[in-house]
Amino acid sequence: NSGSKQHVGKTTFITDDMPNVVFGGFMAVLRSKPGVNARYIYHLLSSRAFLEYKNQVLQSSTIHNIKQSTLEGFEIPLPPPEVQEQIVTILDTFTDLEASLNRELALRKTQIEICLGGIFASDEISNSHSVPLGHLLRHIQPGKYQVNSTEYDPSAPTPVLSPGKAFLLGYTDETDGIFEASPDDPTIIFDDFTTNFHWVDFPFKVKSSAMKMLVPRSDDFVLRYAYWAMKTIPYKPTEH
């Protein structure tokens, strides 16, 4: 159960014994029957098939929850145990690869931060002429690019973005008010409160009104340079 349809039906897989752990009233513990691989069920509950089933069920209700009877009504393919094991092995391999790539990404981000500090602290850069950022960039208000509905659809074509850590909130099939960014005409989306920002070079819509799209004031300024320079600004918001 959740106030948002997005959060209903989320699952996690527990492998360790946790005798002193409790969970909320709108959660459930699922255990597989003999002959059914629990990890196989987990992957099915994380699949697009279950997502589509969940969205279909929740369309008929303003209270976002999945009853036990509804969950039990989700039909799944049930191959022999040895085939289940093969499927789990394949999917777990990709899951482990994803985790490894995320760790690698975190390390690369740290390397970038170190490199940025060295580049912008160099004499060549620090002794060069300084210009206020506002003289180089102009901002575009998000109003006409905001989604009308936050009931996102993973099969829809247009991403809905946030300047925050989440970045990608979902996808929408709304066709009006799309910000037409591209590799030749990119933008920086900037959060007014948290000061988080992201580089975007593809069409998108937004959810929040507390953000801006930053674009260069002239064609002779390299927006990507501003993006990297902004990452060196040691500003932390005091409150949100």
Share of the chain above pLDDT 70, in %: 92
Does the pLDDT value for residue 216 go beyond 70? yes
- Residue 238: the pLDDT is 59
Report the predicted TM-score, pTM, of the whole model to 2 decimal places: 0.61
pLDDT top residue among 63 and 206:
206
pLDDT top residue among 10 and 87:
87
The amino acid occupying position 92 is D
Instruction: Name the pLDDT band for 240 (thresholds 50, 70, 90).
Output: very low
* CA angle at 120 for the pair 119 and 122, rounded to the nearest 5°: 70
Q: Give residue-wise pLDDT tens across range 161-183.
A: 999 888 999 999 999 999 999 99
Average pLDDT value for the chain: 86
Instruction: Name the pLDDT band for 142 (thresholds 50, 70, 90).
Output: very high
User: What is the arithmetic mean of pLDDT over 43-64?
Assistant: 77
- Residue 38: the pLDDT is 92
- Residue 106: the pLDDT is 86
pLDDT top residue among 87 and 125:
87
- Residue 74: the pLDDT is 87
Does the pLDDT value for residue 2 go beyond 60? no
Does the pLDDT value for residue 101 go beyond 50? yes
Instruction: Name the pLDDT band for 18 (thresholds 50, 70, 90).
Output: confident
User: What is the arithmetic mean of pLDDT over 114-138?
Assistant: 82
User: What is the arithmetic mean of pLDDT over 207-231?
Assistant: 92
DSSP character string of the chain: --SSGGGTT------S--TT----TT-----PPTTS-HHHHHHHHTSHHHHHHHHHHHTT-SS----HHHHHT-------HHHHHHHHHHHHHHHHHHHHHHHHHHHHHHHHHHHHHHHHTSHHHHTSPP--HHHHEEEE-SGGGB-S-----TTSSEEEE-SSSS-EEEEE---SS-B--BTTB-EEEEETTT--EEEE-S-BEES-SSEEEEEESSTTS-HHHHHHHHTT-----S--
Does the pLDDT value for residue 130 go beyond 50? yes
